[in-house]
Each structure stands twice: as C-alpha cells, then as structure tokens.
Amino acid sequence: MKRTTAALLAVLLLAAACDSSGGGGSSTSDVPGVTDSEVVVGTHMPLTGPAAAGYSKIAPATKAYFDFVNANGGIHGRKITYKIKDDGYNPATTQQVVRELVLQDKVFAILNGLGTPTHSGVLDFLKTNRVPDLFVASGSRSWNQPDRYPGTFGFNPDYTVEGKILGTHVRSAYPGKKVCFLGQDDDFGRDSLAGVEKILGPVAAKQTYVTSSPNVGPQMGALKAAACEVVVLATVPGFTALSLGTASKIGFKPQFVVSNVGADPATVGKALGTAAPLLEGVVSANYLPLTTDDASPWIQLFKRVNAEHNGGAEFDNNVVYGMSVAYLFVQSLQAAGRDLTRDGIVAAVRRNGFQGPGLVPLRFADKDHAGYGGERLTRVEGGKAVFFGPAYTTDDGDAAVQPHTGPVVTPPQNGIPAA
Amino acid sequence: MTGSVTEVARPGTATPVPEIRGRRRIPPIVPVLIGAVVVAALSYVLPPFRNYQLATVGAYFTVTAGLTVLTGLNGQLSLGHGALMATGAYAFALAQNRWLTMPLSFLAAIAATTLAGVVIGLAAARLRGPYLAGLTLAVAVVVPSVTSTFDETFHSDMGLSVALDPPPGTIPVERWQAWLCWAGALVTVLLLAMLVRGRFGRDLRAVRDDETAARLAGVHVARTQVLAFVVSAACAGLAGALFAVLAQSVSPGAFPLTLSLFLVMAIVIGGLGRLTGALCGAVLLVALPALAQTAGERSGSQHLEGNLALVIFGVVLVVVMLAAPGGLASIRFTRQSRRNR
C-alpha cells in the first residue's frame, strides 16, 4: 500500500507541474480574464453526444463572429477569446468544464452555456464566484431569478411566453377544435404547457416523452384515440421528426404547432429524410431572422461572417442563433465601457436598450433577467419556414399577448455594434 | 497530466521482492493514514480546480475499489455499477433535500444501494459470465426509465438539484469537496482492505478460481457471491452520493451506460483485484478526458474532443494489456503478481 502513497505523491507532482505551466494568461488588471488587449470568455456546449446534432454548430458560429470582430480591431482594443468546452450534455461534465473555465482558465464570464439540466447545476457555483453568466441557451425560467442569481441572464424567450403565443394563434386560427399537447418531461414541456393552458384552458389530452426512449407510438396513439385536431408539440428536433412520422404512420393527421426549439425545417427535415414533406403546413414561431430570408441585412451579414470565419458551415438556424448571441455580447462589452469589470457588464446588461437581430425587444431590466419577450409565427411552405402575422410579445405571467410594433433595426455599416 | 500513467508506478521500480514481503504485514490503516495526510496536504497546495479534480479522483476511487473486489477477486463482471451509483446519488439527493443532514444522507445512499445490491446480487449468484453481464447491463438501462416513470419524485431527465450547506468555516468549496470525497474513499479502501485480507478474501478468490473446489472446502459459494456484490454495491452507492456532492445535481444523464463501461475499463487498465489498480484507474478516469480535451484544443478541432477521450482510453487499454497484462499496478511487481495468482 506504500504504492498508494507513491501514486498520490506522483499526482501531487503532476498537479503542481500542470499548474505552473497551465496557469498562464496573467492579467495586468484585477479583473479575471481581462487585460488591455484581451477579454477571455468561455462556454459549455454539447459538441458530442446525444444533443450535439444542430447544437454543436452554435459555439463555432459565436466564435466566428468574435473572430470577425477581432479582425476589425476588437472592442476597446481588446480581442475576444472564446473558450469552448464540450460537456456532451452531461451535467457532471458541465460541472467539471465550468470549474476549469472559471478556476483554471480564469474566464471573465460564461457566455451562452447550453441546456437546462446542465446549466442548472452550475448556477450556484457561478454565483459564488461572482462570474457573469450571460445569455444562457435555453428557455427555462430558472435563469430569471435576479434575487437569487444576480449575474445570470437568459437569451431565448422562455417556454411559457412561447406557449402563450402559440396558444393565442391556436385560439384564433382553429376555434372550437380539440387541442392536445405532447411535451418533453422536464421544464421545457411543463413551462410550455403552462403557457398554452393559460390561453386555452385545460387541453383535451396531454402526453409526455423522455429523450432516453426514442418511441412516441403510445403517446401518438393516445392523442389519436382522443380525437385531437390540433397538437402542440414542445419537442426537440429529433422528437418533432419522430412525432410527425409516427402520427403519419398511424393515419393521424392533426394540425401540428411546434415550439421554436424543435421546428428548424433544415434539422427536422434531415431527420425525416424522404418523409420531409410531412413538415408542410406545420406552424411554429421564431424571434430571430429566418435563414432563408436573403433580403434581411442581418442574414447577409451573418452569411458573410459565416463564409469568412466559419469555414462556410451549412447556414441554418443554429448559426444565426450563435451569431446573434455573439452580437449581443459585443453590444454588452461596448455598453460596459473601456474599464471592463464583472459588475460593470452585469449593470450594462441590466440597463438593456440593445437593438439587434431579434424581432422583439429583450426584457432585461433591474428585476427581470429573462431574454427575448416574444416571437413571430412561422409556417412551413415549400420546405421553408415563412413568417406570417405580426410579432407578439408577452410575459410568463398574466400579461396579454400583444402585437409588437417596433422599428426594424438594421446592422451597422461595418457589422459591429458601436459603443 | 500526461505522465501520470507511468509516474504512478515508477516509485516502486527498484523495490526488491523481500521488502514487499515485509511490507505486506503492515496493517492497512498505515497506508490509509499516510494517504489521508497526503490528501490533506495536497488540498492546501493545489489550486481550486486541481482540488476539484482531486475530489473527483477520490469519488471514482470509492467505486473502482469496490468494483475491483467484485470483478477482480470474485470474478463477477458488473456492467451496472454506473446505475448503482445513480441509485446512491438519487437516494442522497432525496434525503439531502428533505433533511439537509449530510451524514444521514450518506447513510441513506449506502442503505439504498445495499438493498439494490442484495436484490441484484441474489439474482447474480445464479448467473455466470455473459448472463451476469447481461443482467447488470439491464440494470444500467432500467434505472433511467425509473426516473421518468416516477417523474413526480425524480423529475425525469431533468434530475434533482442537491441542497448543500456551505462548507464549515472559511474552507473553500473545492477543498471541502476533496476532503469529503477522500474521506469516503479512504474509509472504503480501509474497510475493503481489512475485509479481503481475512477469511472473506480467501473465500472470494476460492469462488473465483474454482467453485466446485470452494464448495468442497466448505465455502458457501452463493453467499460469498451475494456478499461480494452487496459490498461493491455499497461502495458504488457512496461514490454516487459523492458525485451528487460534486455536481450539486443528479440526473440520468450523469450516469450513462458509458460510465459503467468506463469503470470496468479503468479497473482492467489499473490492474484487476488490486486496490492500487483501482487508484490508477480512478486517476485515469479523470486524467484521460482532460488530456483528450487539451489535445483537442491544441489540434484546433472543436468536434473531436468527446470522441478523442474514447480513442485515448481504447489505445491506453490496448497498450497496457499488451505491455502489462496484469494492469498498471502490476508493472513493477510482476514476480509478486505471478505468485499471487
């Protein structure tokens, strides 16, 4: 057993060695991750594993936009370094990589960490270490607890907001029809159902699924047996495809209304393969410009950045999402000013006033840390999602769903937000 | 952490055989106490993130130690220890969220997995080789579905967050975690070392080597097998609870099937049936993914990392098995290991 001791000593030596070599990036200022010429931020993303499909494209797109900004001189003379850590959508790994980013790599902030179960586990850690936790990539309402987590801010419209907007559309477009619901068995499904029921009252039938069991046959059978005419889906892309396919197989043809999270026609169509035409007529919603809208100056900008700095990756909603997050972070850096501090950027985000690619305003305020406050409806026509009707805004409480009539914003000439 | 594989074994390079004989009489409490001192010292020297990794090694050591007793000494292969860890972690989380008393929650975790270990062990004692592997594999698959079937209690794929009191005094969280995990690991190892030294250890090996002969010699084969399973299940439960402390959350995603497979791989690489091998395996479980991540970052590929860990693990397994069939722990002690077999 002396070997145990020897082994432990070896670990000590190694750890010490690793530390002396890996503890670089010393900063001249007192703020972690910030020097006169650089600001280091980090993220955790599922680059591999079950949730990697689609989502793994977000962080590289964000990085590509930062590279574009860096190539044009950076922000306040600082280049943005974006450290991307793969957590495989495993909460235990998220714990590890976020600790590595904060304690070892000394990042200034965590940006756009992805996933409800994964990110929930690091909220307390980030709070204790006073690390700004900006623009979390998920629509859970957990990010909006300014009293408990003063440094955490969301990005996506939360699932209840979305549920209310989808519910409002269902009420006006399909009056008197029997409405049912299939949702993921977590905050995503529960919050979404809460929003739908807030508008429509109790749905006729509701079913849940878990991602670990790729079969929605029983659920679709039950919804068919309940004679549902409209089915609202709070599903991730793979399960949207599975639900549409399974329904078609059992001869069940309701109107599908799908959460933004699981409705990207490129991703779902790929999963459906030859059955992609099943997507025709599916209603969903979005809050960022559509990839197919070549007339949008935002899409033109992002496509240019994608070609120049992202190796021309296939241009889908995930790329637009990643670059929109990057744009918002650059705006936050500009707003936080030349003397960049952690408190400074949190205060800047709270002040809000950002105008970017989003169709509706961000909700950030002193007592509100939720992201976008609404969405605009889309319908799949000819294999492409197209917008219809106005954009709507609401909140996750009892506020009414209202059409949004704000000015359309175009990106600045050079594609980089000014201070 | 690249060098850890060889570093771990190197200090014993020139140890002559007689000395080993003399050392074997040292009671297990001595190395465990030395271990405790080393860990305590380390926890003060290391920066926070290395402390966290140290804690993770401790948590892994707790489960690999139990698993190596089951698989290495008793010959029962379990592909379900990740699920047993999940059982312990959930029990810990539920108890902790209700009573917020850590010792009680650890007991609850151990009790729950011991119970699960009895049930699985009773079935396992009737099965051999691949059938046993199949049964434990089924356990690994079933546990996640339990969490979605009773989603009121277990919150399905979302899992539970674990309420934890802040560490006492001004101890940094990471140091506290390292202490907790290594306390668990060292107590486990001490108990296991004392257990396998005595009659129980001889029974374990007798059953592994030849069941008929063992039965003729008066060893109760089935009881020994069930006991071995229960003991290692309890270790897995404690390890699961320690993981819950580390991650501050429990979810099925944290205990995938690959975790069970990694655990088996770790004890095989480390050296089956040796507690030092279990330690080597635990170190590897933390070091190799970190190494893979660094390698991935250096190569500039963002998509390679997760898969790279598997590749590195596979390569290490093949190399170690070719170079030292007895595992890393056996590298410098070939003669002794031969004699032990």
State the SS3 of chain A. Answer: CHHHHHHHHHHHHHHHHHHHHHCCCCCCCCCCCECCCEEEEEEEECCCCCCHHHHCCHHHHHHHHHHHHHHCCCECCEEEEEEEEECCCCHHHHHHHHHHHHHHCCCCEEECCECHHHHHCCHHHHHHCCCCEEEEECCCHHHCCCCCCCCEEECCCCHHHHHHHHHHHHHHHCCCCCEEEEEECCHHHHHHHHHHHHHHCCCCEEEEECCCCCCCHHHHHHHHHCCCCEEEEECCHHHHHHHHHHHHHCCCCCEEEECHHHCCHHHHHHHHHHHHHHHCCCEEEECCCCCCCCCCHHHHHHHHHHHHHCCCCCCCHHHHHHHHHHHHHHHHHHHHCCCCCHHHHHHHHHHCCCCCCCCCCECCECCECCCECEEEEEEEECCEEEEEEEEEECCCCCCCCEEECCCCCCCCCCCCCCC
Task: Name the residue facing A100 among B49, B193, B252 (closest C-beta).
Answer: B49
Between the two ends of chain A, the Cα-to-Cα distance in Å is 63
Across the interface, do A90 and B303 touch by the CB < 8 Å criterion? no
> How does pLDDT run across B265-295, given as a tens digit for each residue?
999 999 888 899 999 999 999 998 888 777 7
> How does pLDDT run across A386-397, given as a tens digit for each residue?
999 999 999 988
The model's pTM is: 0.82
Q: Which residues of chain B does A124 touch, with a Cβ-Cβ cutoff of 8 Å?
A: 248
Q: ipTM for the complex?
A: 0.77
CA distance B216 to chain A (A): 33
A201: tokens are 């009252």
CA distance A25 to chain B (A): 15
Task: Name the residue facing A10 among B4, B32, B161 (closest C-beta).
Answer: B4
For residues A321 and A157, the answer to whether their CB atoms sit within 8 Å is no
- Minimal-distance CA residue of chain B relative to A14: B1
Between the two ends of chain B, the Cα-to-Cα distance in Å is 32
The DSSP 8-state label assigned to residue B273 in this structure reads T
* Lowest model confidence (mean pLDDT) among A26-30, B72-76, B111-115: A26-30
- Minimal-distance CA residue of chain A relative to B331: A3
CA distance A3 to chain B (A): 7
Task: Name the residue facing A7 among B50, B53, B280 (closest C-beta).
Answer: B280
Of A383, A360, A386, the closest CA to residue A371 belongs to A360
> How does pLDDT run across A214-227, given as a tens digit for each residue?
889 999 999 999 99
pLDDT band at B301 (very low <50, low <70, confident <90, very high): low
Across the interface, do A100 and B306 touch by the CB < 8 Å criterion? no
> How does pLDDT run across A58-97, given as a tens digit for each residue?
999 999 999 999 999 999 999 999 999 988 888 888 988 9
> How does pLDDT run across B195-217, given as a tens digit for each residue?
998 899 999 999 999 999 999 99
CA distance A224 to chain B (A): 22
Exposure string of B3-39, with b = 16+ CB inside 10 Å and e = fewer, is ebbebbbebbeebeeeebeeeeeeebeebbebbbebb
Q: What is the pLDDT of residue A298?
A: 96
Domains of chain A, first to last? 34-157+290-372 (3.40.50.2300), 160-286 (3.40.50.2300)
Residue numbers of B between 183 and 212 with CB closer than 8 Å to A? 193
In angstroms, the CA B50 to CA B46 distance is: 6
- Minimal-distance CA residue of chain B relative to A91: B254
For residues B82 and B255, the answer to whether their CB atoms sit within 8 Å is yes
- Minimal-distance CA residue of chain B relative to A102: B49
Strand partners, A234: A183
Amino acid, single-letter form, for residue A48: T
CA distance A166 to chain B (A): 24
Across the interface, do A121 and B145 touch by the CB < 8 Å criterion? no
Q: What are phi and psi of A98, to 5 degrees?
A: -70, -40
Task: Name the residue facing B276 among A4, A12, A116 (closest C-beta).
Answer: A4
Tell me how many residue pairs between chain A and chain B have CB atoms under 8 A apart.
180
Across the interface, do B279 and A7 touch by the CB < 8 Å criterion? yes
Residue numbers of B between 2 and 41 with CB closer than 8 Å to A? 3-4, 7-12, 23, 26, 28, 30-32, 34-35, 38-39, 41
CA distance B220 to chain A (A): 30
Segments of chain A scoring below 50 in pLDDT: 1-2, 8-9, 11-28
Q: Which residues of chain A does B42 touch, with a Cβ-Cβ cutoff of 8 Å?
A: 8, 11-12, 15
For residues A327 and A299, the answer to whether their CB atoms sit within 8 Å is no
Q: With H, G, I as helix, E, B as strand and everything else as coil, classify residue B178.
A: helix
Q: What is the pLDDT of residue B296?
A: 73
Across the interface, do A14 and B279 touch by the CB < 8 Å criterion? no
State the SS3 of B51-71. Answer: HHHHHHHHHHHHHHHHHHHHH
Q: What is the pLDDT of residue A33?
A: 94
Place of tokens 């002193």: A366
Q: What is the pLDDT of residue A92?
A: 82
